[in-house]
Amino acid sequence: MNAMPGVVWITGAGSGLGRALAQRYLAAGGAVAGTSRRTETLSNLALAAAGQPGCFHVQAGDLTKAGCADTLVDAIERTAGPIRLAVLNAGTHIPDSAEQFSAATVASLLETNVMSVAYCLEALLPRMLSRGQGQIAINASLAGYRGLPRAAAYGASKAALINMAESLRIELEPRGVTMRLINPGFVRTPLTDRNDFPMPFLMEVETAAEQLYQALEHGSAFEIVFPRRFACILKVLRLLPYALYLPLMRKLIR
C-alpha cells in the first residue's frame, strides 16, 4: 500500500532529473507513472523500482504527438488512480549559434519543449478543474530569463514555458489547481553532458531531485529554482537594462 495518496506523473522519466525524481518518489512510497519516448529506459527504471516502497507504472509515449497525452492520462487515471501531481519535465537541448542558426532547430525545440507541455496541459486541466484540486509543475530553465549566447532556440522555448506557467497560475489558483514553475540551472544529466563550456554551480542530479522533491511536497512558492546562487545571479542580470546587459554578455563569449 502506497504511503502517499494519488499518482505522480513524471514526463521525461527515462533519464536525468525526471528519472532521479521518480526514484525519490518511489523511495517515499509514492505511486509514480513515468513517461518517456524510449520504452527501454522506463523498463530499466521499473526494474530499479522493484525493491522500493512505491509502485511504478510504465506509460511510454511520444508527447509531441497530438492525442498522445490524453490517451496516457486516461490510462494512468483508469489503472492507477487520479493524478495529484504532474511534473511536465520532458524536454531537450540542441546547442546553436548565430553562424549555425537553423529554423529547423527552433521548430524541433518548440515541438519537444513547448508543445509536449501544451498537449499535457490540454489533457490534465479539464480533469483537475473538475475535481477542484491538483498540482502541475512545468520544468522550464533559468535560460528562459533572458537571451543568453548560443541559446537562441533553447532559451526561446524555455521563456515560452515561463510565460505560460505565469499566465495559468493566475487563472488556476482560485479554482484549486496549483501551477508551479521549475527553473533549474546546470544539473549533471545526459543533456548537459553535451555542453562544451564551463557550467557554473553544476549540481549533481540526485541533489537537484531532492531539492525539487522537497519543494513540490513541502513548499508553496510558485517558482522553484536551483542552484540558488546561480539563480540569484541570473535574477540580477534579468533586471539590468539592455545598455548594460548586452555588452556584458558579449564579453562572456569573447
Binning pLDDT at 50, 70 and 90, where does residue 190 land? confident
pLDDT at residue number 197:
66
Distance, in Å, from the CA atom of 43 to the CA atom of 14, rounded to the nearest integer, reads 9
Contacts by residues 242-247 (CB-CB < 8 Å, ≥ 24 positions apart): 245/146
Query: Would residue 242 show up in a list of annotated catalytic residues for this protein?
Result: no
Tell me the average pLDDT across 94-118. 95
Q: Find the catalytic residue in 119, 145, 154, 213.
A: 154
Residue 192 has pLDDT above 80, yes or no: no
Distance, in Å, from the CA atom of 204 to the CA atom of 66, rounded to the nearest integer, reads 34
User: First CA to last CA across the chain, in angstroms?
Assistant: 57
State pLDDT tens for residues 211-242.
999 999 999 999 999 999 999 999 999 999 99
pTM: 0.94
Q: 85, 92, 155: which is closest to 120 by C-alpha?
A: 85
pLDDT at residue number 189:
76
State pLDDT tens for residues 22-74.
999 999 999 999 999 989 999 999 998 888 999 999 999 999 999 999 999 99
Q: 196, 168, 207: which is closest to 20 by C-alpha?
A: 207
Binning pLDDT at 50, 70 and 90, where does residue 195 land? low
The upper half-sphere exposure of residue 183, i.e. CA atoms within 13 Å in the direction of its Cβ, equals: 28
Work out the angle between the directed axes of helices 116-131 and 68-79 (0-180°, nearest 10).
Answer: 40
Residue 77 has pLDDT above 60, yes or no: yes
28 φ, ψ to 5°?
Answer: -85, 0
pLDDT at residue number 1:
35
**Cα-trace Rg, the chain:** 18
4 φ, ψ to 5°?
Answer: -115, 120
Binning pLDDT at 50, 70 and 90, where does residue 2 land? very low
Distance, in Å, from the CA atom of 215 to the CA atom of 180, rounded to the nearest integer, reads 10
| Domains in the chain: ranges and CATH | 4-252 (3.40.50.720)
List C-alpha distances in Å: 181 to 40, 61, 66, 136: 29, 23, 23, 9
